Amino acid sequence: MRRRVVVTGWGMTTAHGAGAEVNMQAFMEGRDSIREISAFDVSAYTVKNGGEVPGFEFTAPLKYLKRKRLDRSTLLVLAAFGEALGRAGLESIEGNCVVSLGTTLGGMLTGQAYHKEGLTRGFERARPAAMVDYLAHSQALGLMREHGIKGEALTFSDACASGTNSIGHAFHRVRSGEADVAVAGGYDTMCEFTFAGFNSLQAVTQSLCRPFDRKRDGLVLGEGAGIVILEDLDKALARKARVLGEVIGYGASSDAYHSTRPDPEAKGAASAIKAALDDAGVFAGEIDYINAHGTGTPYNDLMEARAINDVFGGRPVPVSSIKPMIGHLLGAAGAVEAIATLMAIKEGFLPPNINCDDPDPECRIELTRSPGQRSVLKKALSNSFGFGGANATLIFQGHRD
Amino acid sequence: MRVVITGTGVVSPVGIGNEAFWSSLASRVCGIGEIKRFHPGAYLGGEVPAAEFARVFDDRRLRRAAEVTKYAFLSAREALVCAGAYQDLFDASRAGIVSGVTHGALEYSCLFHAGVVREGPPGASPALFSDSVLNATAGTLSLAFGIKGPSHSLIGGSPVGLQAIAFAAGLIREKRVELCAATASEVLNQRAVEVYSRMGLVSKARQPSPFTKGAEGFLPGEGAGTIILEVYENATRRGARPLAEIRGWGFSCSGDLAESVATALEKALSSASLGVEDIKVVITGANGGAAGRAEGAALGKILKKGTRVVSIRPSVGEAFGAGAVMDTVAAALSVSRGAMVSDACAPVEETLSEWQWAALKPSGEPSVQDHVLISSTGLLGEAGFIILKRL
């Protein structure tokens, strides 16, 4: 028998700031937190803006990890996890557990610093000990070590679908009974390596990120982390945990079309959405809101709109992307957007798709553009589509105490 | 539901392709030598023969891809051919791919970053960037073979190769796919070898000796392995000849490697409905380094006396996630051929293990073992096991 899987804790850090409450308020208001990047010198780049976490510092005491050797990514994960754990009313993660995180970069800032030091001063003088936290699975294992979590560690790197796949897989593990509790989510940092890469692909905008707008011309990068605690419903209720929402469906697919461009016919994206609906055992007509991948690139948004139209048959489901507010968080995107979707269901609001002044008529979707819109949402869906044709969709529903 | 291996493919320092690989392992060929790819003469390791690889790699679609993707492609193509599932012989929407990655395309990452450091934004190459992302290999393989089901890249240390296989088997058990490729690939990289050397993890010996006195590190290696998994009934219905069954698996991570090993092995045995007495042969990822020694000590306390333990690391070097898939290829070939993989370790009486390893039998000796345990541990305290069953 399938178990029901509920979210009992969430924590997040984004350009809106640290903490779920701060972020939820900003998502409701449609706050624009994109600023000029300060992490590195952007003077030589035509694009200068991004969604950096403002003044991020992780000051909580560490028992086992050495703060000086930790990449910013690990600190973002520790901060989001600590918040999620507290919100779940837990002091530690016990029992049969899986830690499932998504990232595209891991500790790239550390790797970048080592490589830059080696290139400028000679590799014999660069410090190899700092490289331990570079490996992309180091953050999950560091989290487990610091918090005494014992179980299986999984790190997904499925480009922009990483965070969604990490939660989807953890959901399946708990649903099947393979795990009683899961720590799932995603993270990524703002680093020059990625910034230069997306610039070279001409995928970033020089103005505003405007998903589904006729004049959209690219994405804006961001950074952050989002972590959820997933539990078996019965066990969560038995310990009188506060249930924040329920994960009910997950689907994934591949485009097999192009290494960086999505399939314009949207077959892969539609397939992931349909797989998630099948997995949840719900009809498309039951979905009340779609949190779109909505990067603001011409290719992605048109493709995603086609997928939505294919699956929902022209039914006007409210759609929005939160990326114009906080940027594209890459490996963290799916996790943060999943939490935003759960928040929307729980609090009954529609996150606005800001910066879209002139909706693209070719997209033909029901965009939620203005902030402050209230709506009763029973079930909602969150999409993620990444490089390499990786597509993933999660479906959530509300839970009444 | 029985999940079986219907195809394997391998690119290794001791041979490209199943037959060359098996033949070398059976005759204890050592692929360790001076690394030629960079700084010739400075490092020892297991290197895929460049000339041989260039001779057999013939797909021009991937000519600009990173070497790590090319290795994976070649092993995956062989595995699909071996499974009789190459070129549209499977339902693309019901096929998936899971890639285990440790370092990814480090050479492309280094080149891309060097361009940015030296020239600023104009030095950023879009081709290098898109091929340096950690899921580039999985994306390229799904594109090359038309795989339209789930595509995942799992990142981890050596056990990630086994995690990729277990994950793929899980997708089949959950009926999310009917056929799934599990692959992992690794390429020797100067920066990685330098870092591991300076951290004191690399052996100075010409051949690493897992479990032996004086073993003080691993030697780096490279290569790729791919396993094709299907449901037994589907495979036999279409006329495929399964090589082995994936009977069970277990993974664990804790602050203590011995505890990780014990927990992961217990999970693997439990999922396979086996007892520890059913395990007579272990193919271990022990490489002469600290994790391997700890793994040996932990296994020695659990496994029954007389269990035979084999490591192919002395022949191929440490290829991290790819190494674990190569181990699984070796195990699948071993059980399907009823022969033992031979071991290139030092004499058994020198073992450090608290438990007496059984004497290793000569290469190619017939084996009627029903189960083979594949074991892998990582530098950060993670452990994983897969159990194969002879069909």
Residues 196 to 215 of A: which have CB under 8 A from any B CB? 196-202
- CA–CA separation, B31 and B52 (whole Å): 13
* E strand map for A54-163: 97-102, 151-156
Q: Which of A16, A169, A172, A293 is catalytic?
A: A293
Q: Does A117 touch chain B (CB under 8 A)?
A: no
> How many angstroms from the chain centroid is the CA of residue A247?
15
Residues of chain B contacting residue A199, judged by C-beta atoms under 8 Å apart? 121, 124
CB contact under 8 A, A388 and B140: yes
Which of A154, A202, A388 lies nearest to residue B151, judging by beta carbons? A388
| Residue A256: closest C-alpha in chain B | B143
Q: Smallest Cα–Cα separation from A329: which of A6, A102, A149, A171?
A: A102
**pLDDT tens-digit profile of B15-66?**
999 999 998 888 878 899 999 999 888 999 999 999 999 999 988 889 889 9
Which of A145, A158, A198 lies nearest to residue B255, judging by beta carbons? A145
- CA–CA separation, A395 and B11 (whole Å): 40
Beta bridge partners of A13: A18, A225
- CA–CA separation, B114 and A116 (whole Å): 8
- CA–CA separation, A106 and A79 (whole Å): 16
CA dihedral A160, B174, B182, A102 (to 10 degrees): 30
- CA–CA separation, A49 and A58 (whole Å): 24
Beta bridge partners of A230: A7, A182
Residue A62 near residue A142, CB atoms below 8 Å? no
Neighbouring CB atoms inside 10 A of A41's CB total: 10
> How many angstroms from the chain centroid is the CA of residue B169?
16
- CA–CA separation, A162 and A160 (whole Å): 6
Q: Does A129 touch chain B (CB under 8 A)?
A: yes
**pLDDT tens-digit profile of A183-224?**
999 999 999 999 999 999 999 999 999 999 999 999 999 999
Question: Looking at residue B359, what is its pLDDT?
Answer: 36
- CA–CA separation, B144 and A258 (whole Å): 10
Residues of chain A contacting residue B253, judged by C-beta atoms under 8 Å apart? 99, 141, 144, 150-153
CB contact under 8 A, A389 and B255: no
Contacts of B55 (CB under 8 A, 6+ apart): none
CB contact under 8 A, A201 and B126: yes
Neighbouring CB atoms inside 10 A of A285's CB total: 10
Which of B118, B150, B199 lies nearest to residue A129, judging by beta carbons? B199
Residue to substitute from B132, B143, B152, interface A, most A β-carbons within 10 A: B152
- CA–CA separation, B152 and A321 (whole Å): 24
CB contact under 8 A, A252 and B151: yes
Shortest alpha-carbon distance between residue B360 and chain A (Å): 32
Active-site annotation holds for A160: yes
**pLDDT tens-digit profile of A234-264?**
999 999 999 999 999 999 999 998 888 899 9
CB contact under 8 A, A106 and B155: yes
Question: Looking at residue B364, what is its pLDDT?
Answer: 45
CB contact under 8 A, B117 and A259: no
Question: Looking at residue B360, what is its pLDDT?
Answer: 40
| Residue A130: closest C-alpha in chain B | B195
First to last CA, chain B: 15
- CA–CA separation, B251 and A394 (whole Å): 26
> How many angstroms from the chain centroid is the CA of residue A17?
15
Neighbouring CB atoms inside 10 A of A211's CB total: 30
Q: Does A94 touch chain B (CB under 8 A)?
A: no
What letters, b where the CB count within 10 A reaches 16 and e where it falls short, cover A100-111? bbbbbbbbbbbb
- For chains A and B, count residue pairs whose Cβ atoms are closer than 8 Å: 197
| Residue A159: closest C-alpha in chain B | B135
Residue A54 near residue A13, CB atoms below 8 Å? no
Query: How do the pLDDT tens digits run along chain A, 401 residues long?
Result: 789 999 999 999 999 999 999 999 999 999 999 999 999 999 999 999 999 999 999 999 999 999 999 999 999 999 999 999 999 999 999 999 999 999 999 999 999 999 999 999 999 888 887 778 999 999 999 999 999 999 999 999 999 999 999 999 999 999 999 999 999 999 999 999 999 999 999 999 999 999 999 999 999 999 999 999 999 999 999 999 999 999 999 999 999 988 888 999 999 999 999 999 999 999 999 999 999 999 999 999 999 999 999 999 989 999 999 999 999 999 999 999 999 999 999 999 999 999 999 999 999 999 999 999 999 999 999 999 998 899 999 999 999 76
Report residue A303 as tokens. Answer: 């493709």
Shortest alpha-carbon distance between residue A235 and chain B (Å): 22
- CA–CA separation, A12 and A335 (whole Å): 9
CB contact under 8 A, A136 and B97: no
Q: Does A110 touch chain B (CB under 8 A)?
A: no
H helices present in B174-243, as ranges:
190-198, 232-237
Q: Does A260 touch chain B (CB under 8 A)?
A: yes
CB contact under 8 A, B255 and A388: no
CB contact under 8 A, B124 and A199: yes
Residues of chain A contacting residue B118, judged by C-beta atoms under 8 Å apart? 119
- CA–CA separation, B102 and B164 (whole Å): 12
Q: Does A131 touch chain B (CB under 8 A)?
A: yes
Question: Looking at residue A401, what is its pLDDT?
Answer: 62
- CA–CA separation, A398 and A384 (whole Å): 21
Question: Looking at residue B182, what is its pLDDT?
Answer: 98
**Regions of chain B short of the pLDDT cut 50:** 344-364
ipTM of model: 0.97
